[in-house]
Amino acid sequence: MIQVAPQTRVLIAREPLDFRTGIDGTAAVCRQVLQDDPMGGKMFVFRNKLHTMVRVLVYDGQGFWSMTKRLSKGRFRFWLAEGGPSAAVDPHQLHVLLAGGDWTRTPGAEYWRRVA
């Protein structure tokens, strides 16, 4: 099982992915389109054109995990539309997205950092 800790870096791809691609094809999109290393420990999140499926790609140090969620009804309503090829989001926002919600309407607690 993959743990999504508060320290996990999550990147959401803005453009849809052709879900016929396998793990190698998805990793190639991470390298070529998102300009990021898929083996760097980040979670990469993609959607299909119809907004009915989401794929998460993550490297755990031994190999890749590819997880896909397909909604039986409805669509993933909220997705990033403007900006570069990807955007970093908090793990809390990923949980809300995977539940079919809009993370801009469900803020999480602020992260605490010690100030020296």
Nearest alpha-carbon partner for 30 in 64, 5, 53, 7: 64
Decide if pLDDT at 102 tops 60. Answer: yes
The answer to whether the CB of 67 falls within 8 A of the CB of 94 is no
Per-residue pLDDT at 4: 81
83-87, 89-93, 110-114: least confident range: 110-114
Per-residue pLDDT at 86: 87
* pTM to 2 decimal places: 0.85
Decide if pLDDT at 45 tops 70. Answer: yes
Nearest alpha-carbon partner for 44 in 53, 34, 56: 56
Rounded mean pLDDT of 81-106?
A: 81
Q: Which amino acid is at 58?
A: V
